[in-house]
Each structure stands twice: as structure tokens, then as C-alpha cells.
């Protein structure tokens, strides 16, 4: 069991094996106590409380003992605590050393959930004591920040395990999550962005002075066109769908287009989140990822229109109509893709008036 006194200086050692080249030491507390940044919202379901044993019969307490102040008990493994989170992370390190990556992922996920809940509980208590008891509020806020920092460390290590298992689609959302929590200017945030850059998910190196070294082929194994997650990967899926549709394999075409739509919708959201994170910090990065968000959304809408056309070919207008409405909601009727979608609705008889009208 990891002692409570060692939690604030907890470090993960070298994981070895497939992760030896990926893992890096993460500072235990990169967040300044006097300038806390917003914490991520709670993401984990509440942990189950253990069943307490039946209480023993109460003993008579001498009058003198009743006046003594009760000493707080030390946290144990049965309660939510940073100690428990640190223990789970240590067990994950041991699992990785034994190349038990599945077990390591389970431990890291459990650590993230417990530490996230712990941080949220401390944060809520700190808000309740604000303006009532400043020392208590400050202590609780500090505990919330420390728990969130450990949670982000566990999140980072989990993303590295996914990378080692060649599962970038699972690593990317975790890395984006860290950037939202940590800010790109802090060490853990910069490490998370570096991972996204190496995966080819982002194009602009950060920080600005790292451009020459970071962009080298030695430190960047993938470019955006070769990235297994992102716009280029979705384009391949759409091409597969087109080939299936040409062969009149409409079931496969619809499945591939649905997969592309879901992937692109997630990718567009990730880019938009990154744009928000970098706005005011590095506008080069913010503008680059904002453009990528728009490109992903455009390609998603193209895939949606194609899927509607596949459903039309199968005489399934009831499935095509909501997709066409979705395209118009995203694109606006004045744009080319929006007009194509409206034309499909007109041909189906769902709308009566043509657009644009002859007068226009």
C-alpha cells in the first residue's frame, strides 16, 4: 500500500518493453496552488461504498474523554483517497512491466475514475466553505487540484498504453482531455500535445521554439496523411463505401458511411476543443485546428449526403430524410451541399417548393 505521505511525490517509473520509448516522467504537481485552472467535469460513476460491519455495542465513555477533541482517522483503502489512486497507478506500472497491458489499462481507468470523483468531491466542498471558512476552503481546493493532477497523470499513462497497443483512436481523446484540464503552457499539457503531433493528428508544432526539432522525421513518425485517426483515415473509409455502392452492395456502403460520419463528428469535436484551448495562447495552433475542425465537419456532411443517397437507392426514404435535414442544419441552405440536400428532399416529395426558386 502506498503511504499517504508519498502521494504528492508519486512518480511512475520506466515501464519498459513496448513503452520504453514512449513513457516519460510526469511531475506530481505542475499546477500552481495560487492560480488553479478549471478542472474537468466529473466523468466517472460514483464508486461503490463498502458494506460496513455491524457496530459493536457502545461502551460507556468516561466524562473526561468526551471533552477531548476527536483526532481525524487516516485514510484507508476502503475510502476514496489519493493514496488509493497512487496504489492503483503503482499496480498499473507493475502490470506494464509484466507486459500485462490489459490489466494496466484496467488499473489506470480505475485510478482515473476514483481520482476524478475525489477531485470533484473536494471541489464541491471547497465551494460550500468559500466565504465561510477560508482555511478549510483553501485546503479543500488544494486537495482537489492535487487529485486532478494525479488523475491527469493516470490519463496520460493510459494514452501511452493505447499508443503502444496501436490504438490511436483511443489515445487521442485522452490527450485532448489532458490539454483541456492542464492548459498547453504546462508540462503535462505540452507532453500531451507532443503525442498528438507525433500521431499526425495536429500539424503545427508547439511550443513555437520547438518547431525545428519536433518536425524532424526522427521525432514525428506519422504525417497527417498517414495518421490512422483523423480526416485522411475517414477519407479511406468513404472511398470503400463508394466502391461498395458502385457494386450495389448498399448494406456495406451504408455501414462504412455511418462509420465515417461518427469518426468525423468526433474528430471535428476534438479539433474544436483544441482550438478553444489554444485561443489566446498560440493563435497559429488555434487557427490550424479550427480549420481542421471545419474540414472534418464538411467531409462528415458529404458522407451524410452519400448515406442518404444509399438509402434512397434502397427505397428507404424514411431513413434518408432525417440525414438530409441534418445536412441542411449543418451546411445552411445557401451553400452547395445544403442545396443538394434540399433538392433530394424535393425529389422525395417531402417539401413542395423548389429552392432556389426560379425568381432567384
Give me the DSSP letters along 242-300. Answer: HHHHHTT-HHHHHHHHHHHHHHHHHHHHHHHHHHHHHTTT-HHHHHHHHHHHHHHHHHH
**Which residue reads 500531451 in cell numbers?**
192
* Interval 302-353: pLDDT, tens: 999 999 999 999 999 999 999 999 999 999 899 999 999 999 999 999 999 9
Dist. CA 338–CA 349, nearest whole Å = 17
Same structural domain, 12 and 150: yes
What is the mean pLDDT of the segment spanning 182-188? 93
State how far the alpha carbon of 105 is from the alpha carbons of 72, 89, 97, 191, 280, in Å. Answer: 34, 10, 13, 20, 35
Same structural domain, 154 and 10: yes
Same structural domain, 89 and 237: no
Same structural domain, 151 and 23: yes
358 within some domain: no
Check residue 277 and give its pLDDT. 95
Same structural domain, 234 and 341: yes
Same structural domain, 303 and 279: yes
Same structural domain, 127 and 267: no
- Of the residues 191, 223, 255, which one is the last residue of a structural domain? 223
Cell numbers placing 70: 476527536
**At residue 144, does pLDDT exceed 60?**
yes
Same structural domain, 214 and 130: yes
Domain assignment of residue 98, given as a range: 4-30+80-223
Check residue 219 and give its pLDDT. 52
Asked whether the whole model's pTM tops 0.75, one would answer no
Residue 261: CB atoms within 10 A of its CB come to: 23
40 within some domain: no
Asked if 211 and 220 touch (Cβ cutoff 8 Å), the reply is no
45 within some domain: no
Query: What share of the chain in percent tops pLDDT 70?
Result: 71
> Which residues make Cβ contacts (< 8 Å) with residue 242, sequence separation at least 6?
253, 306
Q: What's the CA angle centered on 67, arms 61 and 73, to 5 degrees?
A: 80
**At residue 30, does pLDDT exceed 90?**
no
* Interval 258-302: pLDDT, tens: 999 999 999 999 999 999 999 999 999 999 999 999 999 999 999
- Calculate Rg over the CA atoms of the chain: 26
Check residue 72 and give its pLDDT. 56
75 within some domain: no
Cell numbers placing 245: 455502392
**At residue 36, does pLDDT exceed 60?**
no
63 within some domain: no
Give the total number of structural domains in the chain. Answer: 2
Check residue 114 and give its pLDDT. 93
Same structural domain, 87 and 156: yes
Residue 179: CB atoms within 10 A of its CB come to: 24
Dist. CA 360–CA 357, nearest whole Å = 5
**At residue 85, does pLDDT exceed 60?**
yes
Dist. CA 90–CA 150, nearest whole Å = 12
Check residue 41 and give its pLDDT. 38
Residue 83's pLDDT band, with cuts at 50, 70 and 90, is: confident
Check residue 53 and give its pLDDT. 39
Same structural domain, 161 and 258: no
241 within some domain: yes
Dist. CA 138–CA 57, nearest whole Å = 38
**Please, what is the end-to-end C-alpha distance for the chain in angstroms?**
75
**At residue 29, does pLDDT exceed 50?**
no
H runs (alpha helix) in 98-186: 101-129, 134-164, 168-182
Average pLDDT across the chain, whole number: 79
Same structural domain, 213 and 243: no
Check residue 357 and give its pLDDT. 73
**Which residue reads 461518427 in cell numbers?**
262
What is the mean pLDDT of the segment spanning 224-249? 86
47 within some domain: no
Amino acid at each position: 500500500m502506498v503511504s499517504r505521505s508519498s502521494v504528492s511525490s508519486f512518480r511512475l517509473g520506466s515501464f519498459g518493453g513496448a513503452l520504453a520509448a514512449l513513457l516519460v516522467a510526469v511531475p506530481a504537481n505542475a499546477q500552481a496552488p495560487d492560480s488553479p485552472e478549471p478542472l474537468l467535469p466529473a466523468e466517472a460513476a460514483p464508486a461503490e461504498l463498502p458494506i460496513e460491519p455491524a457496530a459493536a455495542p457502545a461502551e460507556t465513555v468516561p466524562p473526561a474523554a468526551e471533552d477531548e477533541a476527536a483526532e481525524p482517522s487516516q485514510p484507508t483503502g476502503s475510502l476514496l483517497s489519493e493514496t488509493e489512486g497512487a496504489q492503483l497507478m503503482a499496480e498499473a506500472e507493475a502490470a506494464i512491466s509484466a507486459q500485462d497491458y490489459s490489466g494496466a489499462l484496467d488499473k489506470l481507468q480505475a485510478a482515473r475514475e476514483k481520482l476524478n470523483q475525489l477531485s470533484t468531491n473536494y471541489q464541491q466542498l471547497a465551494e460550500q466553505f468559500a466565504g465561510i471558512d477560508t482555511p478549510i476552503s483553501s485546503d479543500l481546493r488544494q486537495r482537489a487540484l492535487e487529485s486532478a493532477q494525479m488523475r491527469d497523470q493516470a490519463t496520460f499513462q493510459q494514452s501511452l498504453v493505447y499508443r503502444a497497443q496501436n490504438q490511436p483512436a483511443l489515445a487521442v481523446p485522452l490527450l485532448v482531455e489532458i490539454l483541456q484540464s492542464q492548459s498547453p503552457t504546462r508540462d503535462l499539457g505540452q507532453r500531451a500535445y507532443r503525442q498528438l503531433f507525433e500521431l499526425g493528428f495536429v500539424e503545427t508544432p508547439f511550443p513555437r521554439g520547438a518547431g525545428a526539432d519536433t518536425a524532424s522525421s526522427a521525432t514525428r513518425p506519422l504525417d497527417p496523411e498517414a495518421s490512422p485517426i483523423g480526416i485522411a483515415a475517414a477519407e479511406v473509409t468513404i472511398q470503400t463505401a463508394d466502391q461498395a455502392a458502385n457494386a450495389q452492395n448498399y448494406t456495406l456502403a451504408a455501414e462504412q458511411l455511418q462509420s465515417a460520419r461518427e469518426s468525423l463528428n468526433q474528430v471535428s469535436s476534438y479539433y474544436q476543443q483544441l482550438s478553444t484551448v489554444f485561443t489566446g495562447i498560440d493563435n497559429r495552433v488555434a487557427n490550424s485546428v479550427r480549420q481542421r475542425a471545419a474540414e472534418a465537419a464538411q467531409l462528415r456532411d458529404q458522407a451524410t449526403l452519400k448515406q442518404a443517397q444509399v438509402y434512397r437507392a434502397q427505397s428507404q426514404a424514411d431513413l434518408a430524410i432525417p440525414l438530409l435535414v441534418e445536412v441542411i442544419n449543418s451546411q445552411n441552405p445557401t451553400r452547395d451541399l445544403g442545396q443538394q440536400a434540399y433538392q433530394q428532399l424535393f425529389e422525395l416529395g417531402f417539401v413542395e417548393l423548389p429552392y432556389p426558386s426560379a425568381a432567384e
